[in-house]
Structure 1
Amino acid sequence: MSFKSRLMVFTSVWFCLAVALIAFTYNWQKQTIELRTKQSLHKQLATHMREDNPLMIGSDYNPVALKSIFHTLMLLGPDFEIYFLDAKGNITTHAAPEGAQLQSSVDVEPITQFLNDEPFPILGEDPRNPAQNKVFSVSALKEGETIMGYLYVVIGSTQHSAIAASEVDPPYLALAGLVLVSIIGFSFGVYLLVEKSLMRPIQRVTNQLQHQAEHDFQLTPDFTHQVKELTPIADSYHLMAKHIQQQFLQLEYQSSHQRQLLLQLSHDLKTPLSSVLGYLETWKLQNKQDPLIDVAYRNCDKLSNQLHSMLQLAKQETPLLSYEYHPVDIATLLAQSAEIMQSQFNRKQVMLKLDVAPELQTIGDKVLLERLVANLLENALRHSPAHSTVCCQAELTTNKADIRFRFTNLVEPNAQGGSLGIGIKIVQSILLLHHSYLETKQTDDEYQQSFTLPSTDLVSLV
């Protein structure tokens, strides 16, 4: 869900829950206060009925006369239902209509609480509606100290409950409908406010940023004139874009300057390099095969090709880098890189050990991978003490899907250059182009750099 949808749903649900909780609390408080008030107001009702209408003479009473009295009293007070109970709470006399469902007894515990003046409201059983307890008034009928029975008056008759329910439901439904409409209206208003004041400006800024990114971050004059909440973001982006423009100008100047230097350097190196390459080729034709001459000739030829490529790139106004991904034999790649670096290892008296599993191949740009291995070997040699060993390993991983490369060397405490510097950025960039990354582990006396490349068994040429 989008932010505006989540906001609208959250607002609606929150208000519905809040209204339901408030309504429940209000209704509960209202009912409690109403019951307490009603019971307090009619607390002495049963006593007055008993005193004004003698119900018993000694331990005797006339049920027929008593029922007539109850009927008369209920006509005068239709909100009351009057019952005569014995000492155990059994109903002995009442004025309920013929055929009315009536339970035979009433729980005496609430009556005892009422007579002991415990806090109101105290709810007792309604003989005509056992599922609903109601407030009541009660008076004990005694002979001496012995309770002979109770005059039990239920406040809020069945008729009263039916009339109240029919009168209360329509207003409650109207009130609930009004609250629901208010909630929906408020949520819709919040939605429109967020949409107009926040979402649309954010979308507009996003579109402007995308447009500016596609046009070299050329900012429009009114870019910083956004809504108040987005002004800090717009100002920060404006500063960033100005900094990017400065860097563009600086890079353009550096690129132009380097292109001129590269053209001059290429012309200066082309003639002597061609001469050296010609002498080496003549030596190979006139003499027996010499491994040292072969290595020198191969490196000079490689340098000549690279110089030719650099010259062509320098002649272009906006040189474009292109990469060619082909199957690369790992053993050959590492052997040639080690051959180039061997003289430097010999000068420092460091042994280079290659441990390469047979028939390993990957997909990649061979020139970039050669540069990658050369940088890592150079870094390992720089940090290694004399008479130590640099180990270069290449093997399949457990799942046979990748090739794991490890470059391990001992660490010389006073080695010059504590890091690869620009070299590490080149290595990381090359690995990024091959969908990999450099992992580094270092202890007090050992340094290890590793990465993985996909095996040709599970990759396809794109």
Structure 2
Amino acid sequence: MKLTLTQRLSLVFALLLLVCCGTSAWLQVRSNQMHELEVVQGLSRDLAQHIARDTQLMDANGLMPGALRELFSQLMLVNPSVEVYLLDPTGRIVGNAAPEGRLRREQVDLAPVQRLLDGAALPILGDDPRSLDGRKVFSAAPLKVNGQPAGYLYVVLLSEEHDRFAERGATSAALNIALWSIGLVALLCLIAGLTAFALITRPLRKLTDTVSQFDIDGAPSAPTTGAPPPPPAEGHDEIAVLDATFRHMQSRLSEQWRSLTRQDQERRELVANISHDLRTPLASLHGYLETLQLKDASLTPEERRRYLGIALDQSRKVGGLAQSLLELVRLEHGFVQPVLERFPLTDLVQDIFQKFELSAEARHVQLKASFAPNVGAVCADLGLIERVLTNLFDNALRHTPEGGEIEIGLVPQGPMVEVTLSDSGPGIAADLREGLFLRPFTIGGARRDGGLGLRIVHRILQLHGLEIRLIELPGRGASFRFSLPVDLATAQHKATRAQG
């Protein structure tokens, strides 16, 4: 069974709490034991000295066994918690009042005895003669005969009787109290910890539910206003920052998904429209070529030239459409990057006029230019901007009726030069303006050519960090406006931002 993050945190917390409480209890018991030993040894530190001073245990002939056993028995009867031993100068036990068979050691280490006599810090543990590995607090005093060292009086302050009594009563009660204390403290801390974890992880659980319910195909949970939400504010806890960051990411993902969906739909429409644009001239081209093949013998030279002219015209349309489509692909996939340079915009407009002069005269359309007196040079890619103006003029010329006019205006606006191109054609209906620069469009139910050219215009200006807008001018048809930077630094900044 898989555990949730909250359950794993609670389990780890419970284990750590148990270990900490157990360690604390052990340290407390150990501390109490050491304190008790220090108190006992501190109170009875001079006990052996008093016994040695007030009692004659040895004479000139040496040890007095009878007096020693009698004295030891009386002391241990008065205070059962002490055991008295007589040691020779090497630490060997030469006198004791222990029952037969209870003595386990014949030798006592004198190093702790010397430390006690030197006044070292308490407690000091020495060997327990009634245990092979036990160590207990003690009192000790040197013995002398005729001024010569004769041994030591060694008094164990916590005897076997004391240990048996402690095991039967006091130690058991203390252990029970310690265990109950550990359990109670652990229970209270566990309840407090689980409550704290529940409060701390509640925002994380809410965020988990939000993430699990997030469906990028569905409607976004947070309303979008077209602009991305502000980044998460600083000063919150990590979970709040994570929640705000996720909601920001959710909004961005939803917005990008809608944008991708819209672009995919527009791409589908573009493919369908281009297929339609290709189908018509190709069908016409195929029909006239087939006619030339089937009726070649019966056609007059004039009819043959007319059919060939129509076929060539349709072939040029197909070639132009293929060329525009290839150009758009190169622009949208980053194969074309603008090379910025300074050039006079008025000279470029004059070149465009010369390019369309004959076509405009053939359609009886007048080309007009309106230049402000102080229009200077601009910074952009000369070839790409020429393509922009060419597409705009071509689009305007094809949709301006005979006797109409196409006008271009150049006006300085601070660090930019504003370019406005308008015609006297029918204009573009309001319901067809959305996505105007992204796909071909229709007017009055009939397809209007030039949508692909406008898309190329939009992409070229986008590479420069600029944008083109469809505007309303009184008495004019379709009117487009964009601006070009005057200085190179501004142009480079805009292009860099567009590419980043």
The alignment's TM-score, normalised by the length of structure 2, stands at: 0.49
Aligned to 1:62: 64
Q: Which residue of 1 aligns with 2:22?
A: 20
AA of the residue aligned to 2:284: S
1:271 aligns with 2:271: no
* Aligned twin of 1:104: 106
Q: 1:173 aligned to 2:182?
A: no
**Which residue identity is paired with 2:133?**
A
In structure 2, do the counterparts of structure 1 residues 280 and 187 end up closer, same or farther at CA, with 3 Å as the change threshold?
farther
Letter in 1 for 2:182: V
Alpha-carbon contact 1:59-1:148 (below 8 Å) kept: no
Which amino acid in 2 is paired with 1:73?
L
1:137 aligned residue = 139
Give CA-to-partner distance per residue, 1:406-452, whole Å, 9 cap, x none.
Answer: xxxxxxxx9x99xxxx9xxxxxxxxxxxxxxxxxxxxxxxxxxxxxx
What's the counterpart of residue 166 of structure 2? 164
Q: Would the alpha carbon gap of residues 277 and 122 (structure 1) be closer, same or farther in structure 2, given more than 3 Å must change?
A: same
> Are the aligned partners of 1:123 and 1:134 in contact in 2 as well (CA < 8 Å)?
yes
Q: How many Å separate the matches in 2 of 1:254 and 1:71?
A: 107
Equivalent of 1:216, from 216, 219, 234?
A: 219
Partners of 1:68 and 1:248 in 2: how far apart? 103
Give identity over the alignment, percent.
28
CA separation of 1:279 and 1:245: change in aligned 2, threshold 3 A:
same
1:190 and 2:199 correspond: no
Kept in 1, the 8 Å contact 2:60–2:146? The answer is: no
Distance 1:203 1:280, change over 3 A: farther
Aligned pair in 2 of structure 1 residues 285, 86: CA closer, same or farther (>3 Å)? farther
**Aligned-pair CA distance for 1:273:** 2.3
Partner letter of residue 129 of structure 1? S
Contact 1:129/1:158, CA 8 A, preserved across alignment: no
Give 3-state SS (helix, strand or coil) of 2:121's partner: coil
**What is the one-letter code of the residue matched to 1:112?**
Q
Distance 1:170 1:231, change over 3 A: same
Measure how far apart 1:33 and its partner are. Answer: 2.7
**Maintained 8 Å contact 2:87/2:152:** yes
1:212–1:219: 8 Å Cα contact kept in structure 2?
Answer: no
Alignment partner, residue 458 of structure 1: none
- List per-residue Cα deviations over 1:209-262 (Å, max 9, x = no partner): 626645311549xxxxxxx97666666666666777877888899899999988
SS in 2 for 1:137: strand
Deviation at 1:54, TM superposition (A): 1.6
1:77 corresponds, among 76, 79, 98, to 79
Could you tell me which amino acid in structure 1 is paired with residue 85 of structure 2?
A: Y
How many residues align? The count is: 308
For the residue of structure 2 that corresponds to 1:88, the secondary structure is: coil
- What are the equivalent positions in structure 2 for 1:28-427 lying under 5 Å apart? 28-166=30-168, 167-184=170-187, 186-195=189-198, 197=199, 199=201, 202-208=204-210, 210=213, 213=216, 215-219=218-222, 269-279=278-288
CA pair 93-252 structure 1, distance change in 2 beyond 3 A? closer
Report the residue type matching 1:21 in the other structure: T
Q: Look up the match of 1:335.
A: none
AA of the residue aligned to 1:154: V
Contact residue 82 and residue 157 of structure 2 kept, 8 A: yes
Task: Provide closer, same or farther for how the CA distance between residues 273 and 146 of structure 1 changes in structure 2, counting only shifts above 3 A.
Answer: same
Q: CA deviation at 1:23?
A: 2.7
Q: Give the 3 Å change call, closer, same or farther, for CA 136–375 of structure 1 in structure 2.
A: same
User: Is the CA contact (8 Å cut-off) linking 2:113 and 2:126 kept in structure 1?
Assistant: yes
1:42 shift after superposition: 0.9
For the structure 1 residues 285 and 194, does the alpha-carbon distance in structure 2 shift closer, same or farther, using more than 3 Å as the test? farther
Contact 2:216–2:254 under 8 Å retained in 1: no
Within 1, Cα distance between the matches of 2:200 and 2:260? 37
Distance 1:137 1:59 in 2: 26
**Does the 8 Å CA contact 2:41/2:123 hold for their aligned counterparts?**
yes
Over 3 Å counting, the alpha-carbon distance change for 1:77 and 1:280 in structure 2 is: farther
3-state SS, counterpart of residue 63 of structure 2: coil
Q: Quote the offset at 1:126 in angstroms.
A: 0.9
**Which whole-Å CA distance do the structure 1 matches of 2:52 and 2:149 have between them?**
14
Q: Find the residue that maps to 1:124 and give its secondary structure.
A: strand
- Closer, same or farther: CA 26–255 of 1 in aligned 2, 3 Å: closer
SS of equivalent residue, structure 1 residue 131: coil
What amino acid sits opposite 2:190 in the alignment?
Answer: S
CA drift of 1:120 comes to 2.3
Gapped runs of 5+ residues in structure 2? 224-235, 297-314, 339-380, 385-458, 460-500
Q: CA deviation at 1:115?
A: 2.1
Q: Verify: 1:9 aligned to 2:18, yes or no.
A: no
In the alignment, structure 1 segments of 5+ residues that lack a partner are 221-227, 288-299, 308-339, 345-370, 384-413, 423-462
SS of aligned partner of 1:120: coil
Bigger Rg over Cα: 2
Give the whole-Å Cα distance in 1 for the aligned partners of 2:77 and 2:161. 12
Q: Which amino acid aligns with 1:67?
A: R
C-alpha contact 1:78 1:157 (8 A) present in aligned 2? yes
**SS at 2:62 equivalent:** coil
Q: Distance in 2 between matches of 1:14 and 1:171?
A: 24
Measured after TM superposition, the shift of residue 200 of structure 1 is 5.5
- Write the distance in 1 (CA, Å) between the matches of 2:107 and 2:272: 115
Q: Secondary structure at the match of 2:42?
A: helix
Q: Which residue number corresponds to residue 422 of structure 2?
A: none
Distance 1:237 1:266, change over 3 A: same
How far residue 375 of structure 1 moved from its aligned partner, in angstroms, is 6.9
